[in-house]
Amino acid sequence: MKKASLKSKALLTAISALSVTGTAVVAAQAKMYTVKAGDSLWSLSQKSGLSVSELASHNNIVNPNLIVAGQTLDIPDQASSAAATPAQQAASSSTAAVATAPAANSGSVKTISYTVKAGDSLWQIAQNTGAQVNDLLQSNGGKSLITIGQVLQIKLPADSQAAPASSAPAAASSAAASSAQSAYNSSVAASQAAATAAASAYDASSAAAASAAASKPASAAPVKPAAPAKLGVSAQSGSVTAIINLALQLSRQGIPYVWGGHTTAGFDCSGLVSYVFQHAAGISMTPYTVSQEGYVSKHAVSAAKPGDLLFWGNAGATYHVAIYIGNNQYVAAPVPGRNVEVQTISRYFMPSFAGTVIK
C-alpha cells in the first residue's frame, strides 16, 4: 500500500515538473516590448509575423485599436506560438473569436465619404465613425498623415451606427485606454487647441475689421484711388488654421531633420516652411532661409501672430526659420539628429525678428 502511494506521488511530481518546464520554455521564447509613440497592434503584427488577433488575445487587450505609449506587451515568437498546446491554441482562438465577433456578424459592408476637418486624426475619425484605425490607414495608402479637406472612403458594417455601442466592461476599458492616450498626447493637443483658437480669433478679428471698413460710408470729398494693398497670410480667412494644423501634423510624424530636405522623407528648417505654405496656403517659397525673408513684412517677435515666420540671425543673413503657431510656441525642423517638433520660444534661443508672409 505504501509502495503504491509512493509511486503515485512520484508520478504526480514528474507530471508537475514537466508542466512547469513546458511553461518555462514557452515563456522563455516570448519577449517583452514597451509600446512607443506611433505604435499600433497592426504595425507590431507586421514586425512580429503574428496577427493582430493573436497579439490582442495574448495580452488580454479588449480593444485591439487602443494601445498606449509605455504599455508593456508580451510578444511570443512564431516558434512558441506554433508550439503552444492544443488547450492554449483553443483558448487563443476563443479570445480572438470574441475580439472579432462584431466584424464576423457585421454582414454586408457600406462605404461612406468623410472630409477631414481641422484637428482630425485617424484615431479621432475612428472613434467618431466606428471604423477600425487599421482600415483607415489602408484607405489612406498606409500613411497616418491626413490634411484638411482630404476625403477618406471609410468601409463600415451595413448596420453600424456613427458611434457603435459597446458593453459596459469594454466601454470602461476603452475609456481607460483613451484617457491614457489623451494623457500622453496632452502637450501636443494643448498646443494644437491653443494655436487653432489663436488663429481663429485672429481670423475673426481680421474679418470684422475688413467688414467694418467696407461698411464705412464714403467721404463726400473725392478720394484718390489707392493702390491695392497686398494681403498677408494672416489676413486670409482660414489660411492660418490650415498652416498651423499641417505644421502640427508634421510634428507628430517623426520626420527627421535632413539638410536640404523639403519632403516628408526629411526636412531642414526652410524646407519645412516651404512645404507647409505650399500645401496649406498655395504659396510657393524658395527653400532657403535668406530668400524666405523676402516673402514677409518684418516686425518684432513680440508682435508675432499665428501663421507668421520666426527668423534667427540678422536680416539678410538669417540661419534658421520656423512657423509661429501662437501661445509662445513654434514648429521647426531644428538640427540633425532631431525630428520636426513643437518648441517654445526661450531667451536662450530667442528669434531675431518675425514676419507675416505676403501673398
CATH class of 188-207+230-357: alpha beta
CATH superfamily of 106-159: LysM domain (3.10.350.10)
Burial (CB < 10 A; 0-12, 13-18, 19+), residue 105, is exposed
pLDDT for the residue numbered 153: 86
Q: What does the pLDDT read at residue 37?
A: 73
The pLDDT value recorded for residue 110 is 83
Question: Would you state the pLDDT for residue 266?
Answer: 95
Looking at residue 312, what is its pLDDT? 97
User: What does the DSSP assignment read for 111-136?
Assistant: EEEEE--TT--HHHHHHHH---HHHH
CATH topology identical between 106-159 and 188-207+230-357:
no
- From residue 132, alpha-carbon distances to 64, 138, 299, 331 in Å are 9, 10, 47, 30
Residues in the chain: 359
pLDDT on residue 161: 57
Superfamily per CATH, domain 2-104: LysM domain (3.10.350.10)
Model pLDDT, residue 55? 82
Give residue 318's pLDDT: 95
pLDDT, position 9: 56
pLDDT of amino acid 68: 74
> What per-residue confidence (pLDDT) applies to 128?
81
Cα atoms found within 13 Å of the Cα of residue 59, Cβ hemisphere only: 27
pLDDT at 103: 39
User: Looking at the whole model, is its pTM more than 0.85?
Assistant: no
> How many angstroms separate the first and last alpha carbons of the chain?
100
State the average pLDDT for the chain. Answer: 72
pLDDT in tens, 258-283: 999 999 999 999 999 999 999 998 99
User: Are 134 and 82 spatial neighbours (Cβ–Cβ below 8 Å)?
Assistant: no
| Rounded Cα distance, 178 and 176, in Å | 5
- The pLDDT, as a whole number, for residue 189 is 55
C-alpha cell recorded at residue 182: 489623451
- Domain-wise residue ranges, the chain: 2-104, 106-159, 188-207+230-357
CA atoms of 269 and 331, how far apart (whole Å): 9
pLDDT (0 to 100) of residue 42: 76
Which residue positions in the chain have pLDDT lower than 70?
1-30, 63, 65, 78-107, 118-119, 144, 159-238, 359
pLDDT digits (tens, 9 = 90+) for 191-230: 555 555 555 555 555 555 555 555 544 444 455 544 444 5
